[in-house]
Amino acid sequence: MEISESMEIMKSLADASRLRVLNALIEKPQYVEELSQRLGLASSTVSFHLKKLESAKLVYKEKEQYYIVYHHCDKILNMSLRELISFNDIDKFIQDERIQNYNQKVLNTFIKNKKLVKLPVQRKKRMIIIDEFVKLFEPGKRYPEKALDCIIKTLYDDYCTVRRIMIDEQIMERDKQVYWLKNHKGKEGINDK
C-alpha cells in the first residue's frame, strides 16, 4: 500500500458519522435511504460520507434492480494497523510532497488573480511557471502563432517572451508560424533540467 492510500483511509475514518455508516455496512449491505433511516442522518449526508469512504476503498457499490447497494470492503478492513503504516515509498512520498509544496509556493508568489505578475529570474522558478503555460496546450495539437499568443495572453501579457522560452527550453517546436508541444512529460520533465 502506498502512503497516500493509507492517509486517505485514515482521513476517511476520522469522522464519527463515517464510522457509524461503515459500522452499519459491516452488519449488512444497505442502500442510501436505508442507512439514512437507520442512522437518523439526511440522505445527502449519508451520500457525502459514502463518497469519502468509497474514495478510500473502504466501501464499494453494486447496482441491484433499482437500488445502489453499498458494501464494506473486507480486504481493507481486515488489514492490521501495522500494514496500514508500513510503506516502501515513504521517502519518495516525502520528496514529492516537498516538491509539490515548493511549486505551489512559487505559483502563489508569481500568479495573482489567475494572471502572472512577472516571470521569475531564477530558472528553476521560471520553469515551474512555464509549466502552467504548458497546461494550456493540448499535446499533439498544432497552433498558429496568433492562436498561441492569444492562449498565452490569458495568463501573461508578454506572450513573445513566454513563446521564446518555450522554444529555447525545447518544450515547443515550430515550423514557420505553427507551434506544438514537443513530447512534454509534465512538471517533473521540466524540473529535471
pLDDT per residue as tens, the chain (193 positions)? 677 788 899 999 999 999 999 999 999 999 999 999 999 999 999 999 999 999 999 999 999 888 899 999 999 888 888 888 777 667 777 888 899 999 999 999 999 999 999 999 999 999 999 999 999 999 889 999 999 999 999 999 999 999 999 999 999 999 999 999 987 444 333 333 3
Domain membership flag for residue 90: no
How many structural domains does the chain have? 2
Domain membership flag for residue 27: yes
108 and 79, same structural domain?
Answer: no
Domain membership flag for residue 13: yes
What is the domain-level CATH number for residue 122? 1.10.10
Q: Identify whether the C-beta of residue 169 lies closer than 8 Å to the C-beta of residue 193.
A: yes
Range of the domain at 44: 3-83
109 and 37, same structural domain?
Answer: no
Q: What is the pLDDT of residue 193?
A: 36
What is the domain-level CATH number for residue 48? 1.10.10.10
Residue where a domain terminates, one of 52, 83, 114: 83
Domain membership flag for residue 140: yes
Q: What is the phi-psi region of residue 15: left when phi exceeds 0, alpha when psi lies from -120 to 50, beta otherwise? A: beta
Q: What is the pLDDT of residue 45?
A: 94
Q: What is the pLDDT of residue 91?
A: 76
Q: What is the pLDDT of residue 191?
A: 36
Domain membership flag for residue 98: no
Task: Tell me if residue 89 falls in helix, strand or coil.
Answer: coil
Q: Please give the C-alpha separations between residue 2 and each of 13, 87, 113, 133, 144, in angstroms, as whole numbers.
A: 17, 6, 35, 31, 43
Q: Helix count (H) and strand count (E) of the chain?
A: 11, 8
Q: What is the pLDDT of residue 84?
A: 82
